[in-house]
Amino acid sequence: MPEPTTRRGKDTKGRIVESAAALMYERGVSSTSIEDILAASGTGKSQFYHYFSSKEQLVAEVLRHQLQQVLREQSRFPLDTWEGISAWFGAMVDMQQNQRDYRGCPLGSITSQLLDHGDLLRTQAADAFAHWESVLSDGLQAMQSSGLLRDDADPDTLAETTIAVLQGGYLLSSTKRDVRPMRNALAIARSQLRSYASDACR
């Protein structure tokens, strides 16, 4: 589908994606109909089909939107310092309890609902996770350059494993409506990272 060229067109498309993301995060992907999204965003069916050929295409945009939210939230923390990483972990636990009402990771929650829905959306979700990991990996590489992290650490693997452990913490926390499993999982992720701290930082 063509990207909107006018400001008004961009606003409309953005509003649809925003409403879809909020509804799908709250109710789940399959429980959110295009009609629900039209009503929530105040747009009409013809506008919708001007920008999206299908619900699948909309969900692909929602995945990108959720990735951007995750990246925006974490951009408040300097992920190239030990203190920044710890503060980021703490903030995610706090958000899960106080802002997300235990709904889980904005990206992980939607991804786990899409794994049975074909390779297109699964691949988009995999790309979103790879992007997220690359941002964390960049921070870890900067820590190597500045001497905080040992040279024998593998930033890409550490970043991927950290995100994996985080996702598991989110799932158990959302299932039990309890932050403890998330906090404990992140404590392990932190220990794993710290095991590569250079001697000066231990």
Stretch touching its own copies by CB under 8 A, among 25-33, 48-56, 85-93, 144-152: 25-33
DSSP string, 80-145: TSHHHHHHHHHHHHHHHHHTSTT---HHHHHHHHHTTS-HHHHHHHHHHHHHHHHHHHHHHHHHHH
Neighbouring-strand partners of residue 197: 149
The site string for its own copies over 143-172 (x = CB under 8 A, - otherwise) reads --------------x--xx-xxxxxxxxxx
Q: How far is the CB of 196 from its own copies (least distance, A)?
A: 12
Q: Which of 74, 77, 185, 196 binds its own copies (CB under 8 A)?
A: 185
Burial class (CB in 10 A: 0-12, 13-18, 19+), 69: middle
CA distance linking residue 67 with residue 132, whole number of Å: 7
DSSP string, 30-97: TT--HHHHHHHHT--HHHHHHH-SSHHHHHHHHHHHHHHHHHHHHTTS-TTSHHHHHHHHHHHHHHHH
CA distance linking residue 117 with residue 122, whole number of Å: 7
Q: Does position 117 bind its own copies by CB under 8 A?
A: yes
Q: How far is the CB of 111 from its own copies (least distance, A)?
A: 6
The total number of residues written for the chain in this structure:
202
Q: How far is the CB of 198 from its own copies (least distance, A)?
A: 19
Q: Does position 76 bind its own copies by CB under 8 A?
A: no
Q: How far is the CB of 3 from its own copies (least distance, A)?
A: 26
Q: Does position 28 bind its own copies by CB under 8 A?
A: yes
**Closer by beta carbon to its own copies, 43 or else 162:** 162
Count of CA atoms in the C-beta half-sphere (13 A) of 71: 17
The site string for its own copies over 44-73 (x = CB under 8 A, - otherwise) reads ------------------------------
Q: Which of 181, 194, 198, 201 binds its own copies (CB under 8 A)?
A: 181
Residues that bind its own copies (CB under 8 A): 26-28, 30-31, 103-104, 108-109, 111-113, 115-117, 122, 125-126, 129-130, 157, 160-161, 163-172, 174-177, 180-182, 184-185, 188-189, 191-192
